Structure 1
Amino acid sequence: MPPPFKQSFLITGLAFSAGLGLSGSCQAQSIEVPNGLPEVPHVVYPEVGLPNFTVPAGTVQQIGGDGKVIQTTQPVSNGSDALQTLYSRAWGYQAADNASSLGVNPAALAATCQVESGCQNVYTANSSGNTITGAFQMSNGTYSEEMSKALAANPGLASTITSGTAGQQDPATQAVAAAQYLKDGATYLQNQGISNPTSVDVRGYYNFGPSSGRAIAQANPDATMAETLPSYSASALAKNGISAGETVSQWRQSVADKMGSGATLPVLNS
């Protein structure tokens, strides 16, 4: 369940005056405003076969009741607290609820969207046939297949989602399919002998598919990724951010660094 909602006030380019308290005196208020343009989709590259996503940076200012800036902070752009990043999005709580309803740990969902898009609703489909898009960077085919599984398992979700492939650009809807895909991956790895797969364990499944995901999860940590994924050329590995000679251990650590605290948490809720 999401943490209790704490009310805050967001304004852009407007003067804000404190209201009168019970005694009739002015009450100082602390409000947070975005410094810069509001969040919008950014065209980026999907992970498979193309360069990694880079999270745009920005700042947030906290303003006191007297109108003066009292603090300026840099939003988290790594995975140190992916769940907080997820909850900071307008669609984050609903996405987490949708994941929980399927038995998937919201922290694992957050870790995945942090790696895929920085938990931003990006649009990366193009006229060349690439359909991978959205906060969880799913292709239309995978999205549709996983959504069908999720709705079969929990028909009640149908009333909360955007129907059809239009749901690809609704992050709370796409979270349903992404959570189902994570669930598939964790269940698959359990059947392969990995008792309680974590977000890092399932990352190979999500990124490279079942057989490659199993190979990575079960590989000797000192084996290279090239040895573990023999069907991938050196250039294909490079386009997935994997350098020559990179070991499975090094790859897992790089993924964990992006995921943050959710990296070692189980994908499935107990």
Structure 2
Amino acid sequence: MIRLPFPCRRTAQATVVLVTCGFVMPPIGHAQTVNVPGGLPTHVNATYQEPGLGGWTPDTTGTAQATSGSGAVTQTATAGTSDSDALGILYQQSWGYAAAQNAEALGVNPSALAATCVVESGCQNLYTAGNGSTITGAFQMSNGTYSQTLGEALAADPSLASSITSGTAGQQDPATQAVAAAQYLKDAATSLQHSGISNPTVLDARAYYNFGPSAGAEIATADDSSLMSSYISGTAMSGNNISSTTTVGQWRAAVAPKMGSAASSSILTG
């Protein structure tokens, strides 16, 4: 029998068993650099299982990045389990990250802003003005509402002026219109709080954004059995495919799925 100079022993590394004599081979790792052009997905839900190691579930937060043509990171946003599917659609737009960051600067939940552009235009920068209407853009705002709310936003946070397009051209620039839309949502939340809704959600504010402050507050606090015709005009009803028999509850049930998981999200971050 051949005698070995050192005793042999079994060393367990995870699920790999090494038989070593006189020395222990450490696991060998090779560093890698992985470039992900579009950034990490906004939702990471992974579970790794291996017999003998138990279960491991990583944090369900990730960092989404926008990169330039050279690969340099131009925008970074952190997403987590509280983010909505609408926010993912917003982040697919070249202006989406800036819009989300500006909304947060105003104290508005980016998911609320995202749900609004998804419902209004699919987050596409549409030009729909004409025939006596000035409503246009990704957030479908009229010139009057856009100008008023953009002025409010800049008064609240003057630093936003450096990230917008000034003048009337800003109405058709989605990143600029997003600032005005975020402020309009903030106005809606404040109005609804005065009407007795302590923590207004995106669904609560939908009527305000769609039909204006007066009808918005009334619909948000109305019973499901109330008729929509009690709060909005026939023109508004026909323009939004609402019949004379449509109840507030039916309208809410039809609108909520268009917003996805953001429908129940709070508008304000503070």
* TM-score, L = length of structure 1: 0.68
Partner of 2:267: 267
Q: 2:211, 2:236 within 8 Å by CA — same for their partners in 1? A: no
Identity %: 64
Instruction: Please give the residue correspondences for 1:11-160 in structure 2 after superposition, counting only pairs within 5 Å.
Output: 81-126=85-130, 128-160=131-163
- What is the deviation of 1:245? 1.0
CA RMSD of aligned residues (A): 1.6
Q: Distance in 2 between matches of 1:8 and 1:265?
A: 26
- What is the deviation of 1:243? 2.2
Which digits, 9 at most, give the CA deviation of each residue in 1:26-59, with x for residues without a partner? xxxxxxxxxxxxxxxxxxxxxxxxxxxxxxxxxx
Q: 1:81, 1:261 within 8 Å by CA — same for their partners in 2? A: yes
- Are 2:195 and 1:192 equivalent residues in the alignment? yes
The one-letter amino acid paired with 1:104 is: V
Partner of 2:8: none
- Are 2:253 and 1:223 equivalent residues in the alignment? no
The one-letter amino acid paired with 2:146 is: Y
Q: Which has the higher contact order (CA 8 A, sep 6+)?
A: 1
Q: Distance in 2 between matches of 1:133 and 1:238?
A: 19
Q: 2:139, 2:181 within 8 Å by CA — same for their partners in 1? A: yes
Q: Which has the larger radius of gyration?
A: 2
Query: Residues 116 and 157 of structure 1: is their aligned pair in 2 closer, same or farther, counting only changes over 3 Å?
Result: same
SS class of match (1:260) = helix
Which digits, 9 at most, give the CA deviation of each residue in 1:102-123, with x for residues without a partner? 0000000000001100000000
- What is the deviation of 1:6? 4.4
Q: Distance in 2 between matches of 1:153 and 1:8?
A: 33
The one-letter amino acid paired with 1:256 is: A
Unpaired runs of 5+ in structure 2? 1-34, 40-83
Runs of 4+ in 1 over 4 A off after TM superposition: none
* TM-score, L = length of structure 2: 0.68
- What is the deviation of 1:8? 3.8
Q: Distance in 2 between matches of 1:123 and 1:6?
A: 33
- What is the deviation of 1:236? 3.7
